[in-house]
Amino acid sequence: MRDKLLFGRCIDTGSPIHRLDPRAKITGMILYLIAIIAVGSWPMLLVTVVFSIVYMLATRIPLKYFVKAAKPLWVLMVFIFVVQSLTVESGEVVLQIGGWALYAGGLKSGFIAAARMALLVSFTAILTFTTTPGLLNQGLDGVLKPLQKIGIKTQRLTLMMSIALRFIPTILDETHKILKAQAARGADIKELPWKEKGKLLLSLLVPVTVSAFRRAEELVLSMESRGYIVGAPRSEYHLLTWQTKDTWFVLSYVLLVAVVLTYRFI
Amino acid sequence: MSVHFEQVSFAYDDRSLWRHGALADVSLSITPGSFVGIAGITGSGKSTLLQHLNGILKPTAGRVKVLDFTIGAGDKGPLRELRRRVGLVFQFPEQQLFEDTVEKDLCFGPLNFGVPLEEAKDRASRALEMLGLDDSFLPRNPFHLSGGQMRKVAIASILTMEPDIIALDEPTATLDPQSRAELLQLLSRLQREEGKTVIVVTHRIEEMLPYAESWIVMKDGTPIFQGTPAELVREERHLSEAGLALPECIRLWNQLAIKLGLEQEEPCLSAEAIAERVAALYEHEVHPPTWGGGAGDAG
Ligand SMILES: Nc1ncnc2c1ncn2[C@@H]1O[C@H](COP(=O)(O)OP(=O)(O)O)[C@@H](O)[C@H]1O
Ligand SMILES: [Mg+2]
C-alpha cells in the first residue's frame, strides 16, 4: 500500500535538480503547465516529451517511478481519451458503426489530451520527488510572496499546504496500522471476499478520520505552545539562495513555452 | 518449540528504492509456556520481530515456525487459525482500536473466529476485569479514554481471543507504575496458571527481571544474546553492547558477587533479595566478607 503511493515522497539521489532553489522549480512547473496547455500538435508533443524525459533523467531517479506516479490517474486518462475522440469531428472518418463515426482528428486530439495529462502528472512528480516538503513549502511561500501586496494571506495557504502534505503519508500509515491490527484479530483484508473488503474499508473511515483530526489538533497545539502564530514574522530554517543555475533552469522553461506558443500561433 | 526462527531476514519496502533492512539473520527459539523478555533500543527491530509471530509480516528470507505453522518468504496460505492462537498487542494501542465502543472492540476478535455473540460479550467483560477496568467502560468510545486505559483495552481485546501465545509490544509504556506492576503480574499468572507463552518487548529491563524466564537482546536487527536471566546477569556486557542501560540491581549483584565470591549462584535481583542474601552470609559466616571501597553505593 505504502509503496504504491508515491505522491509527496522525496527520493534523495543528490542530483543537480535536487539542489536547485525550490522557487526555481515551482516557477518551472508553472511554466511547464502553460506549455502543456498550449501543446496541440504532434511535433510539439514530441518536443515536450523529449524535454520532460531529459529533465527526468537528470534527477537520476529511475523513469519507472515517474510512470508509477501517473498510474493512479489512468482511469481519468482513458476517460479523457474516449470523450475527446468521440466528440471531436474533424479529419477523415476512421470507423463507422451505424450513425456513429470516429474521426482521425478526434483520435488525435484524444491521444494528445491524455498524453498531456500523463506528462503533467509524471513531470510535476519531479517537484515532489526532488524537494523535501519543508523546502517545497518555503519555495511556495517565496513564489506566492508578491500576492501579499494585494492583501492575500499567503502564509495561511502555505501552512495549509504543508500540513496537507505532512498528513497524507500519516493518514496512509494510520490506515495501514489499523488494517494490521484487524488482521491480527482475524479479519485480514487480503483474505476476505470483495464485499467484505469493501465493508472493512468503510469501517476504517471513522477511526482514520478521527485520528487524523486528533493528530491535526495535537499538531496545532504543539505548534502554538511553541509560539507559532500564523503570519507572524519568523526566521526561516534554511535561507534560500538563488543562483545562476536556477536562472538557467527557469530560462529553459521559458524557452519551452516560447517554442510551443510560437508554433501554435504562427 | 512454540516459536522457532530460522535465519530470518526482513526488509520493509523490499525491492523498492526505500528498501530498509530491519531484521538480519535472526535465529531463535522460544519454549512453550515460558515468559520471554525481548530487549533492545529503539530501532533494533523488536516490533518487526514480534509481527512475524502471527504472519502480519512475512520473512524476506528464512523461515518462521510458530506452533504447527511454518511461514517462509512469499508464503500465502490462510493465517486465520495462526492469528487466533497468537495474540499480538501492537506498540501503539491507539492505532489498534477502531470500533466505536470498547465492547465492540473487545468482541471483534472472538466474533471473527466464530465465537457466539453472548460468549464474546462474556469474554469481553472478563478480560476487562482482568485488567482492572469495570463494565462501565463497555459502552464507552475507546478514543475518549486516557492513554493508559486505551492500552488496557487494547490488551484486553487480545485476551478475549484466548490465544496460546500472547505477544506484547512495550505494553507498559504509558501505564502508571502501579498498573505496570499489575499488568506484569497478570501476564505472569496467565503464564504460570494457564500455561500461555508470554512474550514481552521492553526497553525497561528491570521491571521484567522478576518475571522473565529467558531473555533475547536485539541489536541492529539481530539477537546478540539469548539465555536465562542468570546468564544475562553474568554476561551484562551484552546489554551495554546493545546500547541499553544496565539495571541498577544487576550492577549491584555483580559487584557483590565479585566481592563475595557469589558468581556461581543464582542472582538475586531485587533490593530485598540482595539484602537477605548478604544478611545470610553474615549470619552463617561462610565467607567472612571483606568490604572494600566501591561497594558503598550498594545500598
Ligand atoms: N513501516 C516501516 N517502514 C519502513 N521502515 C520501518 C517501518 N517500521 C520500522 N521500520 C524500520 O525498521 C527498523 C526496526 O524497527 P522496529 O522493529 O520498529 O524497531 P523497535 O521496535 O525495536 O524500535 C528501524 O530502523 C525502523 O526505522
Ligand atoms: Mg517498537
pLDDT tens profile B106-127: 999 999 899 999 999 999 999 9
* Domain assignments of chain B as residue spans, ordered by start: 32-56+79-244, 252-298
- The pLDDT score that the predictor gives to residue B77 is 76
- Going across the sheet that includes B61-66, the strands are B20-30, B3-12, B61-66, B69-72
CA of B117 to the centre of ligand 1 (A): 37
Give contacts of B 72-131 with A, CB under 8 A.
78-80, 83-84, 87-88, 90, 92, 94-98, 100, 108-109, 112-113
Q: Which tens digits make up the pLDDT trace of A145-157?
A: 888 888 877 777 7
- The pLDDT score that the predictor gives to residue B282 is 81
Q: At which residue does the C-alpha cell 497478570 appear?
A: B186
Residue type at B245 in one-letter notation? A
> Does pLDDT of B296 surpass 60?
no
Residue type at A32 in one-letter notation? Y
Nearest alpha carbon to residue A24 among A199, A143, A182, A186: A143
> Does pLDDT of A188 surpass 60?
yes
Identify the residue with better confidence: A74 or B101: B101
- The pLDDT score that the predictor gives to residue B286 is 56
Confidence of residue B92 (pLDDT cuts 50, 70, 90): confident
Sign of the torsion angle spanned by Cα atoms B201, B202, B203, B209: negative
Does residue B46 line the site of ligand 1, with CB under 6 A?
yes
SS3 B20: strand
> Does pLDDT of A7 surpass 60?
no
Nearest alpha carbon to residue B29 among B11, B58, B53: B53
Q: At which residue does the C-alpha cell 509471530 appear?
A: B53
Percentage of chain A with pLDDT > 70?
A: 93
For B146-158, b where at least 16 C-beta lie within 10 A, e where not — what string? eebbbbbbbbbbb
Quote the ipTM score.
Answer: 0.74
Distance from CA of A170 to the nearest CA of B (A): 12
- A-chain CB neighbours of B145 within 8 Å are none
Q: Which tens digits make up the pLDDT trace of B225-240?
A: 999 999 999 899 999 9
Tell me the C-alpha to C-alpha distance, in Å, between residue A77 and each of A41, A117, B12, B133: 18, 7, 32, 55
Q: What are phi and psi of A142, to 5 degrees?
A: -65, -45
- The radius of gyration computed from the CA coordinates of chain A, to the nearest angstrom, equals 23
Q: Which atom of ligand 1 is nearest to the CA of B218?
A: 22
- The pLDDT score that the predictor gives to residue A140 is 85
Q: What are phi and psi of B250, to 5 degrees?
A: -70, -45
Does residue B42 line the site of ligand 1, with CB under 6 A?
yes
What lies within 8 Å, CB to CB, of A85 at 6+ separation is A102, A106, A107, A109, A110, A111
Is the minimum CB–CB distance between A187 and chain B shorter than 8 Å?
Answer: yes
| Dist. CA A171–CA A166, nearest whole Å | 9
Nearest alpha carbon to residue A136 among A150, A151, A121, A126: A126
- CATH among 3.30.70.20, 3.40.50.1400, 3.40.50.300, 3.20.20.70 for B32-56+79-244: 3.40.50.300
- The pLDDT score that the predictor gives to residue B103 is 94
> Does pLDDT of A170 surpass 90?
no
Identify the residue with better confidence: B3 or A123: B3
The answer to which of A45-54, A210-219, B78-87 has the lowest mean pLDDT is: A210-219
SS3 B51: coil
Cell numbers representing residue A204 in the block: 476504517
Instruction: Locate all alpha helices (DSSP H) within chain A, ordered by sequence.
Output: 22-38, 42-58, 63-70, 74-87, 104-130, 133-144, 154-184, 194-225, 244-265
Does residue B92 line the site of ligand 1, with CB under 6 A?
no
- B-chain CB neighbours of A186 within 8 Å are 80, 83-84, 109, 112-113, 161
> Does pLDDT of B299 surpass 70?
no
Q: Which tens digits make up the pLDDT trace of B2-54?
A: 899 999 999 998 877 778 899 999 999 999 999 999 999 999 999 999 999 99
- The pLDDT score that the predictor gives to residue B53 is 95
Identify the residue with better confidence: B270 or B21: B21
- The pLDDT score that the predictor gives to residue B272 is 83
pTM confidence score: 0.74
Is the minimum CB–CB distance between A202 and chain B shorter than 8 Å?
Answer: no
B217, containing H or E segment: strand B214-219
| Dist. CA B46–CA B11, nearest whole Å | 13
Identify the residue with better confidence: B262 or A59: A59
- The pLDDT score that the predictor gives to residue B213 is 93
- The pLDDT score that the predictor gives to residue B27 is 96
Cβ distance of A183 and B90 shorter than 8 Å: no
| Dist. CA B172–CA B207, nearest whole Å | 9
Does residue B223 line the site of ligand 1, with CB under 6 A?
no
Identify the residue with better confidence: A73 or B167: B167
Identify the residue with better confidence: B297 or A115: A115
CB pairs under 8 A between A and B: 70
| Dist. CA B143–CA A212, nearest whole Å | 12
Q: What is the mean pLDDT of residues B247-263?
A: 87
Confidence of residue B88 (pLDDT cuts 50, 70, 90): very high
